[in-house]
Structure 1
């Protein structure tokens, strides 16, 4: 074993009671998620209006973009997010979480505003500039995933770490509701459809700018400073200011033995220690996202059956009215399924543990989707039951794997590779999102798409992906209540009892 040296600051963070700086870190990380969710979600409303304004003469169904235009608009953000998760994950391990996170938030703020200012003499030119801005917006949004996860995980104590990381992730639900509220507000005061979609997109710059400002209020995380930058004295000084107490040797006299930490991501040592962890977390993210982002095939039936969105919007309502009704419908879905699920994940993740919660979520999603698929004809003629099963599926997605697949990668890997590995897992999820968004489109979604396998068979496929997600979850170790350094095998504590809290946890 290598030389022993004190890392009291890490022990102090693990044992610290929940206090103001925990809430500040959660607010900073959560604001980035809120901004990202808002900006990715707002394109639903913008796309409707862009179709009305710029493509009224080019499609038989006004109110919808042509398939190639819609694919370009969604694909630009997905590609940017995928790249951002990988690039900013790597960057966060090189220059620090705080600095890289600032760059990601700045990208979000600038290109959110730019998206609303998209220009061109022809519809294709407007769409091209919007796609360009959405790509770079996606890069910033993607960067917020690994960086915000690392920031809150490295600041939190080990007892409530899961709740704080899941709480930051749950701000996605707030971002979706904020998007609906802004859309409703803008539609009520702005009569011109071309101005409405621009105002909705520009508004996304505000939460990103707020997050950029808030992140100046906290120093770099102690774990990055001590373990990656190798400056434990600076880490102790920073945390003394944050904790408002002096971290002294006699407070926590813990010696740790450093293990060999020179190996990188593409090494035999990493493969032996964390290869299965990275495979399992990435696979679970991928499989969950296939289901999560394919919900458009369910929403089409759900919204149509309830009459919230007319199948012929141009004939029955104006463009602004259609978006207002769509915003109300999306808000109801979020309030009934997504938001309660997010809240439950925060409450249960440190009680049941990550692994158990993830397994339960995948099991319920599998059963719910099978129930929808087996009796599909019955449910489509009974919209109330369809609505209930639909919300059960995505309630448990948000209460379980949607939260845990975000939390676990932030805990399992060494500090010097934490953001990189988290970015890889999230990028795998984004690849699943692309498959879920575009892989199930058929004539049922738009007459210009080739004939698909049918909604019922698609539901069977989605049930199968969730079953595979359940199997992959078996290979994700439980991380509840353990120090990050123990989980990542980054250091070996010689006085492990000093890391136990007063309750013996």
Structure 2
């Protein structure tokens, strides 16, 4: 009996379905969550300099203030800590309660905490930052839930032929979210500069922060709630995925009914076949059977996601510091606060437009042609090469006239991150694990990535601290410098390439049940655990 004969008709219908309107609806609904996620996570990097100007400038000082390193680390990193916790919790909950049941919770949490982040009022700078960090932690918690749920829902709705492109398209909305954060910040800073120009008599940058600048960062953060609000209704209208309903909830009638409406075809209810297919397949995450079948895969997806996020989030959250170090963005003392925000957002928008967004969409268009494995290898290799190209002649790039080439090379690191492991590490965990553990395993892999992001964010902040005597005398501990930090990030990418080669499977062109081994469980059980991995249909490249 062939695999298609063993499979439920409702799942075969999903695998063989032609691209239809419901696919695009699912991409938009799930993708807008990722648009919101990226906007909320990365817009904070655009306003941290402004927070330092507003709350940590000494009126008697001739130089503008900046957030102390520990507070800057907290403001930038606390949402990542929340995201890690949310990925683990909602990933597990998505397998227990169902994908759709949990999907609305994450969105509501993001809406509430985006608005609350912008309303972080208090009497002292420290308490304002503490309130902001509190709400950004819970914002991150909601964002974390979006990762395993969106990936799992899209993979379980998609057809076999274009599944990679559909999941990649959901994740590619992250690029538009980063771009939107830059554009919104550009518009806000330019608008407030025009409406509330700094008084002409103010001769130093520290004194040129107009009171209205405090509204800028608050409005930018609160606008993150808007796309989430717009998609909440459509999330609630989506039916539960047939794979969860059939293979986990074991309700063949409901699965067939839901997908008959979505696909607009008649689908037979196969109660007895479902019982045969799901009998004896309830092994858990910590079982020896899971370890034999998928232990190496989980290690591979978690380790590679960890390594790419060390580099990716370091680059994204601290672009402003890198651009200042090469003098592409002028020193803060030469600009007003709003002008500095404008220049930082302009630089980040340019990088997003030329490097980040194209990388995502190269993945969308090529992933089902080239495959996940090759794109991930290519991406890690490209990131390694371009980071070394930045680090080795670093002092050359800081000289006047060379910054443009540095920025171009720096943009290529973002291109290969997104036409590479930043996208594929999101896609592969949604395809290779069993339905009853798919959301959990994706959440574990994603949380490993956020652990890397946290390490990258906190470590890079301190590593890139200025090494000049003035800063040391002011109480700052000198870091290893941007150049050495780039060498470390290049090393992370090289290790990621090796881990991909050894542990990451290719899932192009295979059904989810073939990849997870669920199509062959009966045969594997009969032949014993030793053949389970080989009989799963997983192709190790």
Note whether the superposition's TM-score is higher than 0.5.
yes
Paired residue for 2:249, among 223, 229, 238? 229
What's the counterpart of residue 187 of structure 2? 185
Deviation at 1:458, TM superposition (A): 2.4
* Cα distance in structure 1, aligned partners of 2:464 and 2:39: 27
Secondary structure of 2:461's counterpart equals coil
Contact 1:254–1:493 (8 Å) recurs in 2: no
Look at both structures and tell me which one has the larger radius of gyration over its CA atoms: 2
What's the counterpart of residue 537 of structure 2? none
Deviations 1:379-404 (A, max 9, x none): 33322221222112221111011110
Secondary structure of 2:19's counterpart equals coil
What's the counterpart of residue 330 of structure 1? 348
Select between 378-387 and 391-400 the one with higher mean Cα deviation: 378-387
* Cα distance in structure 1, aligned partners of 2:269 and 2:246: 15
Number of corresponding residues: 488
What's the counterpart of residue 78 of structure 2? 76
What's the counterpart of residue 387 of structure 2? 369
Residues 196 and 255 of structure 1: CA distance in aligned 2, closer, same or farther (over 3 Å) = same
1:241 paired to 2:269: no
* Cα distance in structure 1, aligned partners of 2:82 and 2:117: 14
1:317 paired to 2:319: no
Residues 493 and 22 of structure 1: CA distance in aligned 2, closer, same or farther (over 3 Å) = farther
1:477 paired to 2:505: yes
1:153 paired to 2:158: no
* Cα distance in structure 1, aligned partners of 2:309 and 2:365: 23
Deviations 1:103-149 (A, max 9, x none): 00110001001111111111111111111110100000111000100
Contact 2:465–2:477 (8 Å) recurs in 1: no
Contact 2:182–2:349 (8 Å) recurs in 1: yes
Aligned positions of 1:220-369 closer than 5 A: 220-248=240-268, 257-258=277-278, 260-295=280-315, 300-303=321-324, 305=326, 307=328, 309-311=329-331, 313=332, 315-369=333-387
* Cα distance in structure 2, aligned partners of 1:247 and 1:124: 60
Deviations 1:225-269 (A, max 9, x none): 11111111101101111112222479xx99974463121111111
Deviation at 1:302, TM superposition (A): 3.2
What's the counterpart of residue 498 of structure 1? none
* Cα distance in structure 2, aligned partners of 1:182 and 1:394: 21
* Cα distance in structure 1, aligned partners of 2:269 and 2:111: 43
Select between 443-452 and 49-58 the one with higher mean Cα deviation: 443-452
* Cα distance in structure 2, aligned partners of 1:236 and 1:393: 45
Contact 1:302–1:386 (8 Å) recurs in 2: no
Structure 2, unpaired ranges of 5+? 197-211, 523-541
Select between 50-59 and 232-241 the one with higher mean Cα deviation: 50-59
* Cα distance in structure 2, aligned partners of 1:159 and 1:443: 45
Paired residue for 2:514, among 460, 474, 486? 486
Deviation at 1:462, TM superposition (A): 1.8
* Cα distance in structure 2, aligned partners of 1:256 and 1:20: 33
Deviation at 1:440, TM superposition (A): 2.8
Deviation at 1:491, TM superposition (A): 2.8
1:194 paired to 2:195: no
Deviation at 1:304, TM superposition (A): 5.1
Deviation at 1:49, TM superposition (A): 2.2
Deviations 1:20-49 (A, max 9, x none): 100011111101100011111111233222
Secondary structure of 2:431's counterpart equals helix
Select between 362-371 and 285-294 the one with higher mean Cα deviation: 362-371
Contact 1:11–1:254 (8 Å) recurs in 2: no
Contact 2:327–2:398 (8 Å) recurs in 1: no
What's the counterpart of residue 168 of structure 1? 170
Secondary structure of 2:368's counterpart equals coil
What's the counterpart of residue 96 of structure 1? 98
Residues 189 and 392 of structure 1: CA distance in aligned 2, closer, same or farther (over 3 Å) = closer
Deviation at 1:84, TM superposition (A): 0.4
Residues 391 and 82 of structure 1: CA distance in aligned 2, closer, same or farther (over 3 Å) = same
